Structure 1
Amino acid sequence: MIMNNNIKGFHHFAIKAQDFERTVQFYQTLNFEIVHSWSLPEFTLEKCVMMKNTQFDCFIEICDSNANFPTQGRKRKQGDPYVENALLHICFIVNDAKQAYNEAIQNGARALSDKETLELKNAAKKITVSNSLVYSPNGEVIEFLESVVF
């Protein structure tokens, strides 16, 4: 059931970066470029950027760790382990999940799951997917999914 015909598509996801510069640099290695930057003193936001992937129409918003606006979970303090919240992972379609995994590790990501192949099946259909997962330098989980048709 379609609830809202006004929605035209997905635009961006936003993250709060513990290390703003390092996080921006990491996403630049994933072909994102800064298309706009700003500050909002009324939300204690000193630095924020909108980044666009140079290969496809996808955006990410990266805010500094002092940003004071609605979010999931509690604020993560410096040195705290990653705090689980409603965002499970960020997924990018790739040609080669193993290559994307290796490149992400070389650019500061931490290992989570090397390339694996999984069968997603139900009574009517089986779909085989190949993916890999890393923790970005900021802590969010990034999935690299080889092209698949659902």
Structure 2
Amino acid sequence: MSTNSKIAGCGFHHVALRANDFEATVQFYTEGLGFKVRHGWGEGEKRIVLLDTGDGNYMEVFAGGKGEQLPDGSYFHVAFRTTDVDGAVQAAVAAGAVVTVEPKDVVLGDAPPTPVRIAFVKGLNGETIEFFQSTGDNQL
């Protein structure tokens, strides 16, 4: 149920982390912290996995880290669940955000194919914000 009418928001969807060691990172969050693999796609340095934290919110892990410890850590972006990506982007821009990726439809992986609508904006402090809308049968 949406309680945020400004961005048609249904709450937090995921935070994304770029992993220096993809397998070890996934193992840490699954075996160490009890997260469950919900969906994954890509190959090699383009692998991505969504890990369910236990309440339907996700940790998204990207392969391809450069091996260095970043001064601000390895968090890549934060994503908010919405039922209207386009409206959420409009609200963010009206509040001062800058669009970095226009709203678009994409399919995540093929096991099963998972259609979503996404967009990215840069917030007032340089933070990357994704608006995420599940649009198919495989709701994330």
TM-score grouping bracket, smaller chain normalisation: 0.3 to 0.5
Of structures 1 and 2, the one scoring higher in RCO (CA 8 A, sep 6+) is: 2
Superposition TM-score, scaled by structure 1 size: 0.44
